[in-house]
């Protein structure tokens, strides 16, 4: 499975702080927002990832993330000339997707919780239909809403309904088989001139190939689209990190614990950021993994090859 992070849009609800930078480069507490969706894909075992953004913002992502080799993954980049809807990501990224399944995550979505990685991994080899992820919210009329039966079977999907049939919002993480490219090509723009992800999901539902995983109360899905929600997300991350002594969405830690890089590589990455608490944390993680591995030789059994293109 390959991955796509859609980091486009104008960030108009966050003006003026997005006037000079992409929304997904803004900090959520102690790290750039895009670290959060990137860590989601890495935790799911996805290592070949395309970042899509606007022509003016893409160079900043290249500067921040490079080609991904430092953390044992492969990153590539593509331009979305104008915000024409989430579903356009499958057209922009068609060559990247190739003939396999794809995971799409929105660049402004934050997921957190114990067991989240384990929840994702069984779906990594998903090759038939689509898998959506639902989360109970108090204001479902702001989102795409999923209706499910008592057994959890997906019955309907509505986009920002006035009278929601449930409180289950569809989050910004989507898994699809390879048919998603042809489905996206067959879409017509909505009244607002965009290719809607809800229309993609409805097509899969009509084919009987859409399912929904309820994230439940043990996990958190955070919105960062407004000034208040961005601040609330930062406060949430700060609270978790201070109480638990861990860093949420630390991509270097994800890389070393997933075996994408070895502890020595991880330590070097932390040393490059040693003047910050983040860098010091990365070095401590490297030492912890090294101890847990019984002081194995550098790289022994800890790093694996990149997936073939």
Tens digit of each residue's pLDDT (9 = 90 or more) over 196-227: 999 999 999 999 999 999 998 889 999 898 89
Handedness of CA 240, 243, 248, 254 (dihedral sign): negative
For the entire predicted model, the pTM comes to 0.92
What residues contact 294, with CB distance under 8 A and at least 6 apart?
none
Name the nearest CA neighbour of 102 among 89, 114, 111.
Answer: 89
pLDDT digits (tens, 9 = 90+) for 173-191: 999 999 999 999 999 999 8
pLDDT at 217: 82
Tell me if 275 sits within 8 A of 44, measured CB to CB.
no
**What is the model's pLDDT at position 295?**
53
Separation CA 23–CA 11 (nearest Å): 6
Give pLDDT, residue 54: 93
Is residue 7 within 8 A of residue 34, CB to CB? The reply is yes
Low-confidence ranges of the chain (pLDDT < 70): 126, 295-309
Tokens at residue 227, please?
């000034």
Tell me, what's the pLDDT at 304? 42
| pLDDT score of 306 | 47
DSSP string, the chain: -EEEEE--S--GGGTTTTSSS-GGGSEETTEETTHHHHHHHHHTT--EEEEEE-TTTHHHHHHHHTTSGGGT-EEEEEE-SS---GGGHHHHTHHHHTTS-EEEEETT-EEE-TTHHHHHGGGTT--SSEEEEEEE-S-GGGSEEEEE-TT--EEEEEES-SS-S-SEEEEEEEEE-TTHHHHHHT----TTS---HHHHHHHHHHTT-EEEEE--TTSEEE--SSHHHHHHHHHHHHHHHHHHS--TT-HHHHHHHTTSS-HHHHHHHHHTTTTSHHHHHHHHHHHHHHHHTTSPPTTTTT--PPPP-
pLDDT of the residue at 305: 44
User: What is each CA distance from 237 to 32, 81, 216, 231, 276, in whole angstroms?
Assistant: 12, 32, 19, 10, 17
């Amino acid at each position: 499975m390959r991955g796509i992070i859609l980091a486009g849009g104008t960030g108009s609800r966050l003006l003026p702080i997005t006037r000079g930078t992409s929304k997904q480069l803004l900090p959520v507490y102690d790290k750039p927002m895009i670290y959060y969706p990137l860590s989601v894909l890495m935790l799911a075992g996805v290592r070949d990832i395309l970042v899509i953004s606007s022509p003016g913002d893409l160079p900043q992502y290249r500067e921040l993330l490079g080609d991904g080799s430092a953390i044992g993954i492969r990153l590539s980049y593509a331009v979305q000339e104008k915000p024409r809807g989430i579903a356009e990501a499958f057209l922009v990224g068609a060559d990247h997707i190739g003939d396999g399944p794809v995971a799409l995550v929105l660049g402004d979505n934050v997921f957190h919780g114990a067991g989240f990685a384990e929840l994702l991994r069984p779906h990594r080899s998903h090759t038939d239909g689509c898998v959506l992820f639902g989360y109970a919210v108090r204001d479902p009329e702001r989102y795409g809403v999923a209706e499910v039966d008592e057994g959890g079977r997906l019955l309907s999907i509505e986009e920002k309904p006035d009278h929601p049939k449930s409180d289950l919002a569809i989050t910004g993480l989507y898994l699809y088989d390879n048919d998603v490219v042809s489905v996206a090509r067959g879409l017509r723009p909505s009244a607002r001139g965009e290719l809607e992800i809800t229309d993609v999901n409805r097509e899969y539902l009509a084919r009987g190939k859409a399912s929904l995983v309820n994230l439940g109360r043990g996990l958190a899905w955070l919105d960062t689209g407004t000034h208040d929600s961005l601040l609330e997300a930062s406060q949430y991350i700060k609270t978790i990190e201070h109480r638990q002594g861990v860093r949420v969405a630390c991509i270097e830690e994800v890389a070393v614990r997933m075996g994408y890089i070895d502890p020595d590589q991880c330590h070097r990455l932390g040393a490059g950021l040693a003047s910050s608490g983040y860098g010091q944390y990365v070095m401590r993680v490297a030492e912890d993994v090294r101890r847990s591995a019984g002081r194995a030789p550098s790289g022994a059994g800890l790093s694996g090859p990149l997936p073939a293109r």
